[in-house]
Amino acid sequence: MREITTPISDETIRSLKVGEAVTLTGIMVTGRDAAHKWMIETFVKKTRPPQGDDLQVYEELKRLLNGSVIYHCGPVVAGLDTKEYKFVAAGPTTSIREEPYQADMMKHFNVKGVIGKGGMGAKTLKGCQEVPFAYLHAIGGAASYLAQTVTRVHGVFKMEFGVPEAMWVIEVKEFPVVVTMDSHGGSQHAVIEEQSKKVLDELLAR
């Protein structure tokens, strides 16, 4: 299994191919629906003005996400009262909900990888080639195991979104993923969808 450390270079991303198993070590940031919508509307499309500490958070995110990875994850977190945070569960959430936002967000912040489950669509696949970045599939149903790879929680942004939707800055060691969308236009999800459709068509034709 190939080991990759963040920040990740374009050269490394270009070398990844669909089907390759990888472990990630370093800093990543969690982000789901609320976070993606907020980032796109406030900083990319600028359809809403920054509020409160938005600009300060933006500067921090630009630094943290540059060459790093965003993880579609709504974690279960202990230590909320004391702020001695510890991830109890850290499984991936379904990624396709971020399809309207992902490619634009990755380009704006120069993010090199996105982790989730279920794959993404054509807009994201095109973005993988242009930015470049890769879609990395995490293990569904292994939330407790994946939480054990989180060695430190460095902090959290936008807690007003709620714990699952907040942006957690975490450090991981040997976080396991599989490349299922690469920077060369390869998508394992598209292949499976095509194969499944072929089987379905054959069954319906009987």
3 state DSSP class of 150: strand
Token reading at 18: 């669909």
Catalytic residue among 36, 72, 137, 189: 36
Q: What are phi and psi of 148, to 5 degrees?
A: -70, -20
* Length reported for the chain: 206
Cα-to-chain-centroid distance, residue 44: 18
Of the candidates 135, 27, 20, the residue with the CA atom closest to the CA atom of residue 72 = 135
Single-letter amino acid, residue 150: V
Of the candidates 59, 71, 56, 57, the residue with the CA atom closest to the CA atom of residue 26 = 71
The CA-based diameter of the chain, rounded to the nearest angstrom, is: 62
Cα-to-chain-centroid distance, residue 46: 22
Whether 189 is a known active-site residue: answer no
Residues forming the active site: 36
